[in-house]
Amino acid sequence: QVQVVESGGGLVQAGGSLRLSCVVSGRTFSSYVLGWFRQAPGKEREFVAAISWLTSTSYPDSVKGRFTISRDNAKSTVYLQMNSLRPEDTAVYYCAAAYRWDPRSPAAYDYWGQGTQVTVSS
């Protein structure tokens, strides 16, 4: 059974930084596509970042240049470094794992974590 567990959320002032971590259990971590999504109250789940098994990455324009996704296969962990945070980045952030590369589609992901809250104050 695959488990996805996020950590690292919290409260930060605008302009600050946070690093989220996500541990994905299972014997095939290196073959997963790993993604981060977020969901603010009253809004749909939004794609934030993804990284392939070959470390190709994808970002929407809203976070490009501010957020960086990376992975450590030896630790079965994916990270999301978030810099220059803005109040509109406030959301619950979810980590997800997939077997195929369709990074922006939530339906492509097979396993999801419970989420971690990120709050950016102005």
Per-residue pLDDT reduced to its tens digit, 70-117:
999 999 999 999 999 999 999 999 999 999 999 999 999 999 999 999
Residues sharing a CB contact under 8 Å with residue 8, sequence separation 6 or more, in sequence order = 18, 19, 20, 21, 116
pLDDT at 1: 85
pLDDT at 102: 96
Q: Which residue has the tokens 């960086």?
A: 68
Q: Which helix (H) or strand (E) holds 13?
A: strand 10-13
Parallel, antiparallel, or unpaired: how do β-strands 10-13 and 116-121 relate? parallel
* Tens-digit pLDDT profile for residues 15-43: 999 999 999 998 789 999 999 999 999 99
Q: How far, in Å, CA of 35 to CA of 11, rounded?
A: 22
Residue 118: which of 88, 97, 79, 76 has the closest Cα?
88
